[in-house]
């Protein structure tokens, strides 16, 4: 379900532009408001929906999600740490879903720029950056040489 922006709510802050992994949220150069330049390329990750401080971004529901006409309203409530989806069907029924926006406190994830620069030896490691510490485990499980040979 690709996203779209209510231009009357958007204040052009650019949060959605910064967070979009598909780089399709752009600021209109004339109106200084955000818009989705290519809905077909939307990952439907809803990072922009969750990041928008103005609740200015909604999505267009697919027929299998909300058939026969509907509206999908997304509400981000940072103080409650939740994101709510309200689906209104044409016959008047409503369905509401509430989910946590994230499971860690707001602003608790450091920027990559705040982390130590990896050593050159890290290039030869199979671990990703800051693993295993960021997984909150002491070590990643590893195959024994015998298991690796069997696979």
Nearest CB to ligand SF4, comparing residues 21 and 145: 21
Assign 28 to helix, strand or coil: coil
* Least Å from the CB of residue 46 to ligand SF4: 5
Is residue 8 a contact residue for ligand SF4 (CB under 6 A)? Answer: no
Which residue, chain included where needed, has tokens 């920027």? 111
Q: Which residue in the list 31, 43, 65, 106 is annotated as catalytic?
A: 43
| Distance from C-alpha of 63 to C-alpha of 70, rounded to nearest angstrom | 9
Query: Which helix or strand (DSSP H or E) is residue 96 part of?
Result: strand 94-100
Task: CB nearer to ligand SF4: give 9 or 80.
Answer: 9
Q: Considering the rule CB under 6 A, would residue 134 count as an interface residue with ligand SF4?
A: no
Q: Which of 28, 29, 31, 57 binds ligand SF4 (CB under 6 A)?
A: 57
Q: Is 74 in the site for ligand SF4 (CB under 6 A)?
A: no
Q: Are 49 and 34 in contact (CB under 8 A)?
A: no
CA torsion angle for 117, 123, 124, 127 (degrees, to 10)?
Answer: 70
Q: Which stretches of the chain are DSSP H helices?
A: 15-19, 47-51, 145-150
Assess 20 for contact with ligand SF4 (CB under 6 A): yes
- Residues with catalytic function: 43
Where does this chain bind ligand SF4 (CB under 6 A)? 3, 5, 10-16, 19-22, 24-25, 34, 36, 42-48, 51-52, 54, 56-57
């Amino acid at each position: 379900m690709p996203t779209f922006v209510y231009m009357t709510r958007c204040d052009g802050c650019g949060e959605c532009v910064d967070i979009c992994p598909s780089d399709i949220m752009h600021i209109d150069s004339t109106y200084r408001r955000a818009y989705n330049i290519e809905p077909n390329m939307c990952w439907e990750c809803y990072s922009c929906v969750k990041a928008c401080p103005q609740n200015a971004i909604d999505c267009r529901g697919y027929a299998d999600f909300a058939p026969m006409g509907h509206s999908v309203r997304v509400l981000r409530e940072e103080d409650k740490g939740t994101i709510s989806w309200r689906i209104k069907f044409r016959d008047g029924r409503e369905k509401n879903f509430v989910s946590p926006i994230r499971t860690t406190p707001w602003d608790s994830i450091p920027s990559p720029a705040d982390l130590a620069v990896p050593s050159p030896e890290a290039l030869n490691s199979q671990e990703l950056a800051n693993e295993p510490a960021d997984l909150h485990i002491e070590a990643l499980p590893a195959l024994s040489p015998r298991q690796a040979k069997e696979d």
